[in-house]
Amino acid sequence: MANWKKFKKFVQKVAKPVAAVAAIVYPPLIPMIGSALGATGAATAVVGAAALSGAASAVAGDSTSDILKNAALGGAAAGIVNAVAPTAFDSGLLSGGGAAATTAPATTAATTAATDIGLLSGSTGTGLTAGGSGLGLTAGGGSLGITAASPGASAIGGSLGTQLAGISTGIGAAGALSGLTAPATTAGTSAVGSMAPVDYGLTSGGAATSSGGIMDSLAKYGSGVLDFAKANPQLAGSLLGALGGAVSAANAPKEQTTTTSIDPQIKAEYLANLERAKAAAANLGVRQFAQPGAMYTAAEQNLYNLGMTPFGAKDIQQFFNPYEEQVVQGALGDIERTRQMQEQANMAQATAARAFGGSRQGVVSALTNEAALRQAGTTGGQLRSAGFTQAANLGLAARPMNIAGLQTSMGLGAQRDALTQARLDAQRNIELERLAITGGALGLQPANTGSTSTQPLYSSTVGSALSGGLTGAYIGSLLQPKPI
Amino acid sequence: MATAQQVAETKQMVREAMQEEGVSAETLIRLGKMAEAVLKNKNLYPQFVQAVIDSDLAEDGDIPAEIDYQMLGVFATLGEMARQMIASGELGA
């Protein structure tokens, strides 16, 4: 277990030198930090390196941003880190130099920049000003292959100068005093060309010094710029590359257009079908409904009437036995005939008794007639009562059967009506059915009739600046003196 | 770009500082691993700070609440440096 005070002292002792060699001791660390800071791709190396550059304040309690701002390379680091945000190329990348040169008198700004923040200010205010076609990195650059005489070197320098002239107004002012404005182009080019191949071209002691080249101009504004460039050629290269990348991004296309189309025959068929659909929709009439048929209507009416008519004599009457009267009359006739036969017998008996016409015969005849009448009444009543009861029962039984019959008739009528309705619908929907056939042939999915899409290309100036910075860092590493 | 000479000198400086302040290689390696973990997942920063404090490598407020990438980078480099020095025999395991 370590004591925190001792450990803090340990870190304070070693932080700065350890950070200086971090890229060699642990190469994956730089992109790891860059990635953690939100950079992607090649930019992770530049951002990671910038974040580590202020390590002198590590574990001192300062925030990351404070460290970046206060560190020796604060201008450069803040510029690159701020470049991650898509708004701050001018205020970020040039904040160490361009901004200072804008606000302060040019001479003072350049001097101050050379002392305080080194190459960054020197770069924006002096070495990379408008017309800086002479910024070929080496004289006769045998090791680099980038010389003033190289094809395109002049164009690269001119392009950088032109773009830089528009980035910050302060650059032009500082550049004018630095001696690297347009009039210096020719001199710079020739000076670089005359430099010895072994000279890095970034030192005041190089061959360029005597010819008024870039480094010679830089040297006028303090040794800090050159010392830093010698000590940190990779970072210096990153800054140069970042500026170049930004210039390239400014001229990059900002959008792309993609056009897709379908087979013209399919498209024509689809459009024709679409027209047919429109016509069918326009001509589609109101749906027609079949009127109830005669069968249904009659059955419905009768059922209604039946339901509204209470059970009564009429229902019974229709079930009376039409032969009931004959039966009754037959029975009564039998009784009458019996009475008459009895009366004949009574008369014969009275005659035999020599009492015919007497009172006794009169009494016997009266009794016979009375019995016959009574029998006739009883028999007729019984017969008629039975007929009524039977008719009533039949009438009650017939009513539900009548209802069922009427309902059956209504069902049959409804079926006929449905057929009529189907005929009407078929006539109305014939166009829709035809469209369904042609539409199905064209597929379930709507045809792609072609489209044009425009997508923005996010080739940000910042991203290109970071990418360019990485390339510059590589060039800077080549400039690095080999260890003895 | 640092040179091999600079690296060697820095390692020597680290070795001396470790002896002077009583910091072990294991501590540096462990701290480096934690720093790398935070660089890969920033959400682990609070646990990192607490672990450093619990290990008596710092006290409350000594490590900023905001992620300090330079500090993490130095710690990760120290851890790797300690591993390399152990592997090369410059430091005892």
On the 0-12 / 13-18 / 19+ scale of CB atoms within 10 A, A314 is exposed
List, as ranges, residues 21-80 from B with C-beta within 8 Å of A.
21-24, 27, 36, 38-40, 42, 53, 55-59, 61-64, 66-74, 76-78, 80
End-to-end Cα spacing for chain A: 40
- CB-nearest partner of B22 from A6, A58, A234: A6
Q: Which residues 6+ apart lie within 8 Å of A149 measured at CB?
A: A136, A140, A193
Q: CB distance A6–B10 less than 8 Å?
A: no
CB A134 within 8 A of CB A191: yes
On the 0-12 / 13-18 / 19+ scale of CB atoms within 10 A, A89 is buried
- Chain A residues touching B50 at Cβ < 8 A: none
Residue A446's pLDDT is 53
Where helices occur in A232-323 by DSSP H, the ranges are: 233-250, 264-283, 294-308, 313-317
Residue A221's pLDDT is 45
Q: Return the residue of A nearest to B57 by Cα.
A: A4
Q: Return the residue of A nearest to B20 by Cα.
A: A10
- Chain B residues touching A25 at Cβ < 8 A: 7, 10, 77, 80-81, 84
Q: CB distance A33–B2 less than 8 Å?
A: no
CB-based contacts of A277-283 (< 8 A; 24+ apart in sequence)? A277/A435, A277/A439, A279/A431, A280/A431, A280/A432, A280/A434, A280/A435, A283/A431
Q: CB distance A21–B57 less than 8 Å?
A: no
Q: CB distance B4–A24 less than 8 Å?
A: yes
Spatial distance between the Cα atoms of B62 and B55, rounded to a whole number of angstroms: 13
Instruction: Compute CA distances B3 → A476, A478, B9, B51, whole Å.
Output: 14, 13, 10, 34
Q: CB distance B13–A2 less than 8 Å?
A: no
Q: CB distance A63–B62 less than 8 Å?
A: no
Structural domain boundaries of chain A? Answer: 12-254+463-479, 289-444
Token duo for residue B9: 């000198």
B72-81 pLDDT, tens digit per residue, is: 999 999 999 9
Spatial distance between the Cα atoms of A246 and A154, rounded to a whole number of angstroms: 18
- CB-nearest partner of B13 from A14, A26, A57: A14
Handedness of CA A92, A98, A103, A109 (dihedral sign): positive
Q: CB distance A483–B3 less than 8 Å?
A: yes
Candidates A52, A477, A41; CA nearest to A245 is: A41
Beta bridge partners of A349: none
List, as ranges, residues 52-111 from A with C-beta within 8 Å of B.
52, 54-55, 57-59, 61-64, 67
Token duo for residue A340: 């008459």
Spatial distance between the Cα atoms of A85 and B18, rounded to a whole number of angstroms: 40
Amino acid (1-letter code) at residue A430: I
- CB-nearest partner of B74 from A18, A480, A484: A18
Q: CB distance B69–A36 less than 8 Å?
A: yes
To which residue do tokens 């700004």 refer? A109
- pLDDT band of B55, cuts 50, 70, 90: confident
- CB-nearest partner of A59 from B10, B24, B71: B71
Q: CB distance B23–A477 less than 8 Å?
A: no
B1-42 pLDDT, tens digit per residue, is: 568 889 999 999 999 999 998 999 999 999 999 999 999 999
Residue A263: DSSP 8-state: -
Q: CB distance B62–A67 less than 8 Å?
A: no
Residue A460's pLDDT is 52
Spatial distance between the Cα atoms of A196 and A418, rounded to a whole number of angstroms: 107
H/E stretch holding A172:
helix A169-178
User: Could you give the angle at which helices A43-52 and A29-36 cross, rounded to 10 degrees?
Assistant: 90
Candidates A221, A220, A198, A196; CA nearest to A208 is: A196
Q: CB distance A8–B70 less than 8 Å?
A: no
Q: What is the pLDDT along chain A (484 residues), one digit of tens a residue?
A: 457 788 888 888 898 889 888 888 888 888 888 888 888 877 777 777 777 765 444 444 443 334 333 433 333 333 333 333 333 233 323 333 333 333 333 333 333 333 333 333 333 333 333 333 434 333 333 333 344 454 554 554 455 445 444 443 333 333 333 333 333 333 333 333 333 333 333 333 433 334 444 444 444 444 555 566 566 666 666 665 665 566 666 666 667 777 777 777 777 888 888 888 888 899 888 999 999 999 999 999 999 999 999 999 889 998 999 898 899 999 999 999 999 999 999 999 889 988 888 888 899 999 999 999 999 999 999 999 999 999 999 999 999 999 999 999 999 999 999 999 999 999 999 988 888 887 777 765 555 556 666 666 655 555 555 555 565 556 555 555 555 5
Q: CB distance B58–A59 less than 8 Å?
A: yes
Residue A35's pLDDT is 86
Most B-contacting residue of A33, A44, A59, A234 (CB-CB within 10 A), to test interface: A59
CB pairs under 8 A between A and B: 164
Spatial distance between the Cα atoms of A372 and A337, rounded to a whole number of angstroms: 9
